[in-house]
Amino acid sequence: MTTPLANYLVVAALLFSVGLAGALARRNAVLVLIGLELMLNAANLNFIAFWRFGPHAGELAGLMFVIFSIAVAAGEVAVGLALVIAVYRHRRTVQVDRLDSLKG
Amino acid sequence: MLNEIQFLLCASLTLAGAVAAMMLRNLVHCALCAAGAFAGLAALYLQLDAEFVGLAQLLIYVGAIAILIVFTIMLTRGEEIRPGVPIASPSWWVGLPVGALVLACLIGAVMASPSLVRLPAGAVHAPVRKIGEALMNGYVLPLQTIGLLLTAALLGAVVISLREPRNPESKTR
């Protein structure tokens, strides 16, 4: 175990930025959801890294947070993809720039 | 030394998968690359001695969520695959600078903090038995809440994606 904590944090920051840029820039709603998942995973990686390098690694709090976060993410992606399918059924498209009926 | 090679491999797999998932044109390729990124993250968790979380990540993300994404792509036949159709939204020029700005802030904060360049204290062991005992003792209320939340999410997903019954009024649309 010789990799310092900062390396993991840099990887998580890169992952978060890639997910954020993708979620903001892509047209397809499914890919926006994948970008959201990447951001959530970057946060989970930070939790695990801080748990492992922290002074109280025997306390398991970081691990528990990630377990619950993964469960919430699973529910979130199920509802999100169901919404994408429902939108596709009504509008015949999942391109986010064409779902503009609320635009003034 | 070996540990650093492992870290570099896992991190490059994760980041390459994430970048490819956000850049490719074919949606199925995007879903596969995202699954690769999730698998790389599971490897990183395993490397950080979090065996249970790593295997749960592999089961849930690579096993379940990737399949769900592939099914959604199949059911919503994307039109981006045809050449000439843009894959980026019209406001993509806002998204990229925002991502770069967030990255600069995060990297700057990590690099500016000398306390973050540290090595772990010692060997840590988090066996599944200990995690299960913690879940059943201290974390039993969150566990029950998560069960309720997952049930609600499952029912909500089914209800949202149900095909609506055709009645005469809605046929005119």
For residue B26, give both structure tokens. 């074919």
Taking the domains of chain A in order of start, what are their residue ranges? 5-97
Q: What is the pTM of this model?
A: 0.90
CA distance linking residue A87 with residue A80, whole number of Å: 11
B58-100 pLDDT tens trace = 999 999 999 999 999 998 876 666 777 778 888 888 889 999 9
Of A13-17, A25-29, B168-172, the one with minimum mean pLDDT is B168-172
For residues B115 and A50, the answer to whether their CB atoms sit within 8 Å is no
Confidence label for B157 from pLDDT (cuts 50, 70 and 90): very high
User: Which residues of chain B are within 8 Å of residue A99 when distances are taken between CB atoms?
Assistant: none
Q: What is the structure's pLDDT at B173?
A: 46
B108-145 per-position pLDDT tens digit:
999 888 777 777 666 777 788 889 999 999 899 999 99
Looking at per-residue confidence, does B38 or A95 come out higher? B38
* Cβ neighbours of residue A102 closer than 8 Å, sequence gap 6 or more: none
Which residues lie below 8 Å from residue B117, measured CB to CB, with a gap of 6+? A4, A5, A6
DSSP for A42-53 reads HHHHHHHHHHHH
SS3 content of chain B, % helix, strand, coil (to 5): 75, 0, 25
Q: What pLDDT is stored for residue A3 in this prediction?
A: 79
CATH class of A5-97: mainly alpha
CB contact under 8 A, B44 and A79: no
| Burial of B51 from C-beta contacts in 10 A (0-12 / 13-18 / 19+) | middle
The pLDDT of residue B168 is above 60: no
- Distance between B169 CA and the closest CA of chain A, angstroms: 15
Model pLDDT, residue B71? 92
Minimum distance, in Å, between the CA of residue A88 and any CA atom of chain B = 6
ipTM rounded to 2 decimals = 0.92
